[in-house]
Amino acid sequence: MTACASAWADMSWRENIHSRLVAWLKIVLPLAALAILSTLFLVARSIQVPDELPFAQIDLKERARNPQATEPAFAGVTDNGDRIAINAVSARPIDGDMSRVEATDVDGRMDMNGGSVIFVTSKKGLIDQPADMTRLTGDVVITTTDGYVMKTEALNAGLSTVWAETDGFVQGNGPPGRFTAGKMKLSTDPETGKSHLLLTQRAKLIYDPRDPKE
């Protein structure tokens, strides 16, 4: 009987400890979870994550100072009916003036009413409507359906009339052969609509009457 009573007392003591432990855990665990959540909340409040990333704020400020258009296109018709189209990768107005625009990676096309087409590409361009001209700079390449390909560093061209003139040295090839010159001028005959190319300042021609497409 004494042994049974001792075993029973021992079991009762263990159950009592277990019950108390469970009761304490029911209280302690929720409090611990609440403490952890409170800590996380306080840490989050102290970090103060910004609404916008710093580089985004800088970009927005830069765009506000320099409004820029992506892949803009400019088009017009000259007094003689020639069509001019200019595309670019990006462009922005100069000092907020939309009539004067700086562009990058310019791709231009001039369709003459006589049937010939002139293509022009350059790294940079300035479209100046008040001056009725555009200025192309940086690896300027001029290609015509008449068979001419010319390269220069700077070219000025008209907007309402088809004319073009290089700042300086130009080199290229065409139906007559290869040529170089200190300057090049391109104009259009108002009666026939055909373009005329004039090379000046020590112009040199290596005569080669072969088909330039060969």
Q: What is the mean pLDDT of residues 106-115?
A: 84
Which amino acid, residue 39?
T
The pLDDT of residue 58: 39
Give the HSE-up count for residue 94: Cα atoms under 13 Å, Cβ half-sphere: 11
The phi-psi region of residue 134 (left if phi > 0; otherwise alpha if psi is between -120 and 50; otherwise beta) is beta
Q: Which residue has the tokens 């922005």?
A: 92
How far from 23 is each of 13, 104, 106, 109, 202, CA to CA, in Å? Answer: 15, 75, 79, 86, 105
Instruction: Kindly compute the dihedral angle of the four CA atoms of residues 178, 181, 186, 189, in this order, to the nearest 10 degrees.
Output: -80
Give the HSE-up count for residue 51: Cα atoms under 13 Å, Cβ half-sphere: 0
Q: What would the pLDDT profile of 24-75 be if each residue is shown by its tens digit?
A: 444 444 444 444 434 433 333 443 444 443 434 434 444 445 556 677 777 7
% of the chain exceeding 70 in pLDDT: 63
Give the HSE-up count for residue 74: Cα atoms under 13 Å, Cβ half-sphere: 27
